[in-house]
Homo-oligomer: A and B are copies of this chain.
Amino acid sequence: MATLKIWLLLLFVATIDVALGHEKYVPIITNQIHLLRPQSGSGGSYVEGLSCLSWRLAVETNNLISWTQIPTSCVDYVGHYMLGSQYRQDSELVIEQALAHAKALNVSTDGTDIWVFDIDETALSNLPYYADTGFGSEPYNATKFNEWVETKAAPALPATLELYEALLNLGIKVVFITGRPESQRNVTSSNLKAVGYTTWEELVLKGSEYSGKTAVVYKSAQRKILENDGYRIVGNIGDQWSDLLGTNIGLRTFKLPDPMYYIG
C-alpha cells in the first residue's frame, strides 16, 4: 500500500494540474499497470479463483451486475489501474471514437442536436475520493461521499473535457443528466464550471419524483422529455450501462471505464 500512497500523491499533483490548467494530460506514470500476476495481493500472495482482469472485463461488459463492492483481492489491481496510465488510455480511446462519430454527423443548423453526458466518472472524476476510500472496496457511505461532493473539488476527466469542447465547436449542445439529487445543483454547477464545463443546454439532476426509481428508468424518462421537446440526441456518454441502456438512448452510446462501482 506504500506504493499506492506515493502514486496517490502523484495523482493529486496531476489532477490539480489538469483542473487548473485545462492542459492535455501527460501521464506521469508511463509503465503498464497490468501486473503479470494481477491475482496477487499486496504481499504477492496468490489468490485462487479470481482473475481481476476477467472481473474487470465482466464489469465493463455488463456481465457482472448489481455488485456492491469490488473484490477484496482486486483492490490493488483496481488501484493500479485507476492511478496508472491504462485508465487514461482506455478513456482516451473511447473519446477518440466519440469524436470520430461526432465529426461524421450532419449537425443540424437549428441548434437542436444535443449530446448527453453523465457526470460522475464521466464529466467529473471522483478518483481523489475513491483513492482515499479503497477504490470501491468499502461499502458505499452516502454521508462521506456527499461531503466530498460539497467540496466541489472533483477534477474533470481530461478526455471527456476534450470531447465536450470539440462538440461545442461542432455546434452540438450539451445536456448533463446525473443521478446526483436536486439538492446538489449548486455545488455540481460550480464544480463543472470550475474545471472547464462552462456552458450547457440543460443540467438535469434527479428530482424527488424519481425517488426509488432505477437510473435506467430515470435517465430514459429524461431523455424522452428532451426528444419530446424537439432535441435530437446524437450521442450519449457515461461510465455506467444504466446511462446507456433503456429507451431514447440516442444515435450512439459510449461507455467509459469504471471498475469502482455499479449503478443499475
Measuring CB to CB, which residues of chain A are less than 8 angstroms from any residue of chain B? 31-32, 34-38, 51, 53-55, 57-58, 60-64, 86, 89-90, 92-94, 97, 253-255, 257
Whether A53 lies near B97 (C-beta < 8 A) is no
Whether B89 lies near A54 (C-beta < 8 A) is yes
Partner of A94, one of B63, B89, B94, B257: B63
Q: Which of A58, A64, A257 has the most CB of B within 10 A?
A: A58
User: Shortest beta-carbon distance, A73 to chain B, in Å?
Assistant: 14
Name 10 extra pairs, CB < 8 A, besides A54-B92, A54-B93, A61-B94. A31-B36, A32-B37, A34-B34, A34-B36, A34-B38, A51-B90, A57-B57, A57-B60, A58-B90, A63-B255
> Nearest residue in B to A39 (C-beta to C-beta)?
B32
Whether B90 lies near A57 (C-beta < 8 A) is yes
Whether A64 lies near B32 (C-beta < 8 A) is no
Partner of A36, one of B36, B54, B93, B254: B36
Whether B57 lies near A97 (C-beta < 8 A) is no
Bound Cα distance from A196 to B38, whole angstroms? 34
Q: List 10 A-B contacts (CB under 8 A).
A: A32-B38, A51-B89, A51-B90, A53-B90, A54-B92, A55-B93, A60-B61, A61-B61, A63-B94, A64-B93
> Nearest residue in B to A62 (C-beta to C-beta)?
B255
Residues of B within 8 A of A90 (CB): 51, 53-54, 57-58
Whether A34 lies near B53 (C-beta < 8 A) is yes
Whether B255 lies near A93 (C-beta < 8 A) is no
Partner of A86, one of B51, B89, B94, B257: B51
Bound Cα distance from A35 to B35, whole angstroms? 9
Residues of B within 8 A of A60 (CB): 57, 60-61
Whether A58 lies near B89 (C-beta < 8 A) is no
Bound Cα distance from A43 to B62, whole angstroms? 36
Whether B51 lies near A93 (C-beta < 8 A) is yes
Bound Cα distance from A62 to B93, whole angstroms? 12
Partner of A57, one of B62, B63, B257: B257
Whether A93 lies near B31 (C-beta < 8 A) is no
Bound Cα distance from A122 to B61, whole angstroms? 15
Bound Cα distance from A38 to B53, whole angstroms? 14
User: Shortest beta-carbon distance, A156 to chain B, in Å?
Assistant: 20
